[in-house]
Amino acid sequence: MTMVILLRIKADKLPIFLFGDSTMDVGTNNFLPGCKARADISFYGIGSRGSRPTGRFSNGYNTADALARLMGHKRSPRPFLSLITQMSNFKRNVLTGVNFASGGSGIMDTTGKKFGRVIPFGEQVEQYATVRNNITELMGTSRGKTMLSNSLFVISVGSNDIFDYFESSQSRSPEFLVNLGNQYEAHLKNLARLGARRFGIISIPPIGCVPIQRLRGNGSGGCMQDINDYAEAFLAVVKGVLPKLKSEHQGVQFSLGNAYLATMSIINITFPFKEVQKACCGNGTLNTESACSPTARVCRNREDYLFWDQFHPTQAAAKLAAAALFAGSPPLVAPLNFSSVARIYV
């Protein structure tokens, strides 16, 4: 049914601003000297135009690309760090949207430091402030404010914060989720103060089920339930934050995509993917003992795989996720879907 939705959608182009981690990154980290979280090597991008790596953590395109296309864009908004290399055209280039997402980053500024230089969510919001100022300068304050209030702000972040927490701490404390939620709320409020009014939020998926976590488990290949519990618990935190944001800032509308429920549903019924445990690109057990690289083993039937590498979904999975977010219904996306929040009717 989801694939039918993909065929029926027809949308007018609307500005879209994207924030988050590697699930949204369309090449930001290519511009970060010393960054170790990169996807600009083979076999990344094998399914994209020209079969070349673009910096997306995918065999082709990702959810950011699929959402942009559903919203009427011929191509996904470019990374902020790419756009600032062409300052003479910067103001006009940002009018259709910008991608700020950075692979390896998180809600907390300290998340992802093991990768060297990444752009945390808070800094991404600061980059957006620069874009906002340029838009209002080009269009005028009133027109610029109207444009931004009608744009869609898509956010997918938090997985790396939980990964880092489990890697760095042997003990578990509820205080971690409280602090994470407070920081997340602060970033959303900053976006609202900067004119954002339409939010498309993607929750943390069951990251205990990604291939690398299955490999690190008890040897059964099962999901790491303790990590999943934190991912699911943060969903409850976000559900508390969003109504507060709406009540405190006039005109705010939001859509919350339940990536946890959607992904677990696919894993439990093994549909529409035939392989939901192994990585398509890698080596060894679950094809995930080593990272996707030019020396990796790559599956032939990429459309049958949920996971591309140790952590990330395939292009096919990303398209499916985007379709559900854009035109789905509760409980997968609520209280509205992304198209309704963006006022694009399908």
Catalytic positions: 22, 309, 312
**Residue 217 token pair:** 């488990």
Question: Are β-strands 253-257 and 333-334 bridged in parallel, bridged antiparallel, or unpaired?
Answer: antiparallel
- Cα–Cα distance measured from residue 156 to residue 21, given in angstroms and rounded to the nearest whole number: 7
Identify the H or E element spanning 214.
Answer: helix 211-215
Give the relative orientation of helices 259-269 and 315-327 as an angle to the nearest 10 degrees: 130
- Cα–Cα distance measured from residue 36 to residue 47, given in angstroms and rounded to the nearest whole number: 23
Query: What angle is formed at CA 61 by the lines to CA 56 and CA 64, rounded to 5 degrees?
Result: 85
Q: Are 18 and 318 in contact (CB under 8 A)?
A: no
Nearest to 200 by CA among 247, 153, 260: 153
Omega before 271 within 30 of 0, i.e. cis: no
Give the relative orientation of helices 225-248 and 159-168 as an angle to the nearest 10 degrees: 130
**Residue 129 token pair:** 């402030």
Q: Please give the backbone phi and psi of residue 327, each rounded to the nearest 5 degrees, phi first.
A: -130, 15
Q: What's the helix, strand, coil split of the chain in %, to 5?
A: 50, 10, 40
Torsion of CA 254, 258, 259, 262, to 10 degrees: -140
Question: Are β-strands 97-99 and 198-202 bridged in parallel, bridged antiparallel, or unpaired?
Answer: unpaired
